[in-house]
């Protein structure tokens, strides 16, 4: 007899673990299984720290997979909201499903859970109102929006610890956690979900492996960006309805803390949005890490992407942040993930499988950066495995123009932002699946199949992915 659960969640990122937490808190007697292809949080570690280079961990990258998903190694910046603002500017589109006020309540509720499990009580970005308002005005003059919201910073090492406590809490309270197991396929019959097919993570490349079935009344897809590719396959195969998605392509920018000192001090993270000439594409900064470290992460088919984080205790002298351009394609092209993958693949090849780094001044002079030049550069790269080269060979004209124009605009607000020694690392790409179409209960067109978190395109970030999980549990329990 096959095993049967009330609810199975695919993936163990913040989306599904906060869903499980809420089921416990609401005293539900549901039999719940969470399945994750990566490892338990205490077994996740990234060898790059010791070895100085990415060894492409098999079968899955420890940065992006495992308990708490991309969250465990993330810098753990929880973006809250501005109480004076009547909109939500950061973290995706949850508010389009449940409304702005309810989203704010949910953020308050979720923030308290993070505090309960040991998050730092200090909120960044609330103290220096006048100074922030001055920078905001300056930015406005240059056609840039500076989004001003409080941030709770967990720090990479503390995030690890905090999620370890949540993992224990879930298991102690009867949630079944299955690790190093891939959900290979969904079981759909007559437009209704029946369960999932699983196989061990180590057999990821063995297409002949006979997968095992586990049944469930409801399946929640919470696969994050790591599972975006798989989700596209599932949507095609099972006719799960989607709308055109997007992909964010850009670079990780690294510059001295001294240039970013005001924004770092007053806001911790300055989220800047612009629409530079001539394309008017949306360009934004994301995931700013004062005194942080640039990192790399590996996605399916060994794609190496750049990211960044910062620790609570270990500090560098540099700030890093992503500069991302949103790409929405029009007829007849509708393959944003493939497009992003191709850009990443070309850049990886140029870097011999690694992230490529280039000085801003070299880009404007139309030349590559050489390793010897990097060694003499005033901004010392914090990602030691990055290879000096030329990212303009792989990033398209439109994206590159957007990024360079944006840097020049921000330079008028933050003096030194366009200094020639500042570093651009590529590729930094945020993959979102084609957006899964869901109703107000987060249910897809397949009865009993739901989608939450970053993977299906609803959220972008830790706080909102966590909130989507809480709301998912409430929707299933009819406690909206
Ligand atoms: C280095 C880094 C730094 C970041 N810093 C921040 C930050 O400071 N602030 C912030 O707000 N956000 C940050 N993010 C983003 C944040 O981590 C994500 O937005 C968030 O984790 C999304 O949650 P999720 O539950 O949707 O998915 P994820 O956390 O991505 O989890 C999805 C999980 O599903 C698993 N999975 C996928 N497919 C399958 C399958 N078929 N079978 C089994 N398991 C599967 C994956 O292994 C993964 O563990 C960062 C991300 C990274 C990588």
Within 8 A by CB and 6+ apart from 101, the residues are none
226 Cα: distance to centroid of ligand 1 (angstroms): 7
Atom of ligand 1 nearest to the CA of 17: 25
359 Cα: distance to centroid of ligand 1 (angstroms): 30
Atom of ligand 1 nearest to the CA of 182: 42
378 Cα: distance to centroid of ligand 1 (angstroms): 34
Query: Pocket of ligand 1, candidates 227, 290, 321: which has the most ligand atoms within 8 Å of its Cβ, to mutate?
Result: 227
CA distances from 145 to 142, 235, 258, 272, 274 (A): 9, 36, 22, 6, 6
DSSP letter assigned to residue 227: G
Say if residues 434 and 244 touch (Cβ distance below 8 Å).
yes
- β pairing state of 212-221 and 387-388: unpaired
Q: 270 CB under 6 A from ligand 1?
A: no
Q: 10 CB under 6 A from ligand 1?
A: yes
Q: 468 CB under 6 A from ligand 1?
A: no
Q: Which two tokens stand for residue 278?
A: 């001539």
pLDDT bin (cut points 50, 70, 90) of residue 231 is very high
The 10 Å Cβ neighbour count of residue 267 is: 26
Dump pLDDT digits (tens) for 41-94.
999 888 877 777 778 888 888 888 999 998 776 678 899 998 888 888 889 999
Dump pLDDT digits (tens) for 160-207.
899 999 999 999 999 999 999 999 999 999 999 999 999 999 998 888
Dump pLDDT digits (tens) for 270-301.
899 999 999 999 999 999 999 999 999 888 77
Q: 124 CB under 6 A from ligand 1?
A: no
Say if residues 277 and 284 touch (Cβ distance below 8 Å).
no
71 Cα: distance to centroid of ligand 1 (angstroms): 5
> Of the candidates 99, 80, 76, which has an alpha carbon nearest to the alpha carbon of residue 91?
80
Asked if residue 2 has pLDDT above 90, the reply is no
Q: 457 CB under 6 A from ligand 1?
A: no
Q: Which two tokens stand for residue 472?
A: 């998912």
Q: Which fold has domain 4-116+156-244+433-477?
A: FAD/NAD(P)-binding domain (3.50.50)
Dump pLDDT digits (tens) for 444-463.
999 999 999 998 889 989 99
> Of the candidates 434, 449, 445, 459, which has an alpha carbon nearest to the alpha carbon of residue 15?
459
Q: Which part of the chain is CATH 3.50.50.60?
A: 4-116+156-244+433-477
The 10 Å Cβ neighbour count of residue 478 is: 7
Give the HSE-up count for residue 351: Cα atoms under 13 Å, Cβ half-sphere.
33
Q: What burial letters (b/e) apply to 164-185, b meaning 16+ CB within 10 Å?
A: bebbebbeeeebebebbbbbbb
> What does the alpha-carbon distance between residue 391 and residue 393 come to, in Å, rounded to a whole number?
5
Nearest CA residue ID for atom 34, ligand 1: 11
> Of the candidates 285, 336, 231, 325, which has an alpha carbon nearest to the alpha carbon of residue 15?
231
pLDDT bin (cut points 50, 70, 90) of residue 433 is low
Angle, CA 332 vertex, CA 326 and CA 338 arms, to 5°: 50
* Mean pLDDT, rounded, of the chain: 93
Within 8 A by CB and 6+ apart from 376, the residues are none
Q: Number of helices (H) and strands (E), helices first, in the chain?
A: 13, 21
Q: 392 CB under 6 A from ligand 1?
A: no
Say if residues 467 and 107 touch (Cβ distance below 8 Å).
yes
Query: Pocket of ligand 1, candidates 114, 462, 464: which has the most ligand atoms within 8 Å of its Cβ, to mutate?
Result: 462
Asked if residue 395 has pLDDT above 80, the reply is yes
SS3 category, 475: helix
Nearest CA residue ID for atom 12, ligand 1: 461
- Percent pLDDT > 90 in the chain is 75
Q: 66 CB under 6 A from ligand 1?
A: yes
Check residue 447 and give its pLDDT: 98
Q: 14 CB under 6 A from ligand 1?
A: yes
Q: 462 CB under 6 A from ligand 1?
A: yes
Dihedral over alpha carbons 89, 95, 99, 100 (to 10 degrees): -30
Dump pLDDT digits (tens) for 354-373.
999 999 999 999 999 999 99
pLDDT bin (cut points 50, 70, 90) of residue 314 is confident
205 Cα: distance to centroid of ligand 1 (angstroms): 22
Q: How many residues are there in the chain?
A: 480
Q: 456 CB under 6 A from ligand 1?
A: no
Atom of ligand 1 nearest to the CA of 38: 47
- 198's enclosing H/E stretch is strand 192-200
19 Cα: distance to centroid of ligand 1 (angstroms): 15
Asked if residue 1 has pLDDT above 70, the reply is no
Q: 186 CB under 6 A from ligand 1?
A: no
Check residue 309 and give its pLDDT: 85
SS3 category, 334: coil
Query: Pocket of ligand 1, candidates 8, 13, 179: which has the most ligand atoms within 8 Å of its Cβ, to mutate?
Result: 13
> What does the alpha-carbon distance between residue 252 and residue 429 come to, in Å, rounded to a whole number?
10
Atom of ligand 1 nearest to the CA of 184: 41
State mean pLDDT over 8-16: 97
Say if residues 59 and 298 touch (Cβ distance below 8 Å).
no
- β pairing state of 242-243 and 247-256: unpaired
State mean pLDDT over 326-333: 86
Asked if residue 415 has pLDDT above 90, the reply is yes
């Amino acid at each position: 007899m096959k095993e049967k659960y009330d609810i199975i969640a695919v993936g163990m990122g913040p989306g599904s673990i906060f869903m499980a937490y809420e089921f416990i808190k609401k005293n539900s007697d549901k039999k719940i299984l969470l399945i994750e292809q990566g490892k338990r949080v205490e077994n996740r570690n990234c060898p790059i720290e010791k070895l100085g280079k990415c060894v492409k961990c098999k079968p899955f990258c420890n940065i992006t997979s495992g308990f708490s998903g991309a969250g465990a190694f993330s810098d753990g910046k929880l973006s809250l909201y501005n109480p004076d603002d009547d909109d939500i500017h950061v973290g995706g589109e949850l508010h389009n499903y449940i409304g702005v006020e309810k989203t704010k309540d949910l953020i308050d509720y979720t923030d308290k859970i993070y505090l309960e499990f040991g998050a730092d009580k200090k909120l960044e970005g609330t103290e220096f109102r006048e100074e922030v308002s001055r920078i905001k005005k300056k930015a406005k003059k240059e056609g840039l929006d500076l989004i001003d919201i409080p941030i709770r910073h967990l720090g990479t090492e503390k995030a690890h610890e905090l999620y370890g406590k949540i993992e224990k809490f879930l298991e102690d309270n009867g949630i079944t956690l299955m690790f190093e197991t891939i959900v290979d396929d969904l079981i759909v019959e007559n437009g209704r979900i029946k369960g999932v097919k699983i196989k061990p993570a180590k057999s990821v490349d063995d297409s002949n492996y006979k997968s095992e079935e586990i049944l469930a009344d409801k399946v929640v897809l919470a696969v994050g960006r790591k599972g975006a590719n798989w989700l596209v396959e599932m949507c095609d195969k099972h006719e799960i309805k989607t709308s055109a998605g997007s992909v964010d392509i850009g670079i990780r920018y690294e510059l001295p803390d001294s240039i970013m000192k005001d924004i770092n001090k007053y806001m911790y993270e300055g989220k800047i949005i612009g629409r530079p000439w001539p394309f008017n594409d949306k360009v934004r900064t994301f995931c700013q890490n004062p005194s942080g470290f640039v990192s790399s992460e590996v996605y399916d088919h060994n794609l190496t992407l750049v990211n960044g984080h910062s620790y609570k205790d270990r500090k560098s002298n540099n700030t890093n942040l992503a500069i991302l351009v949103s790409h929405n394609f029009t007829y007849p092209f509708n393959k944003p993930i493939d497009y992003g993958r191709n850009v990443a693949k070309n850049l990886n090849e140029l870097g011999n499988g690694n992230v490529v780094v280039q000085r801003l001044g070299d880009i404007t002079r139309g030349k590559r950066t050489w390793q010897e030049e990097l060694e003499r550069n005033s901004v010392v790269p914090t990602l030691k495995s990055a290879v000096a080269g030329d990212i303009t060979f792989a990033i398209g004209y439109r994206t590159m123009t957007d990024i360079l124009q944006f840097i020049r605009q921000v330079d008028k607000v933050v003096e030194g932002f366009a200094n020639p020694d500042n570093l651009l690392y590529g590729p930094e790409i945020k993959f979102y699946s084609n957006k899964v179409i869901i109703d107000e209960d987060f249910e897809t067109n397949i009865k009993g199949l739901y989608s939450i978190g970053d993977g299906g395109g609803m959220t972008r970030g830790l706080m909102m992915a966590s909130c989507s999980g809480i709301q998912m549990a409430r929707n299933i329990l009819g406690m909206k």
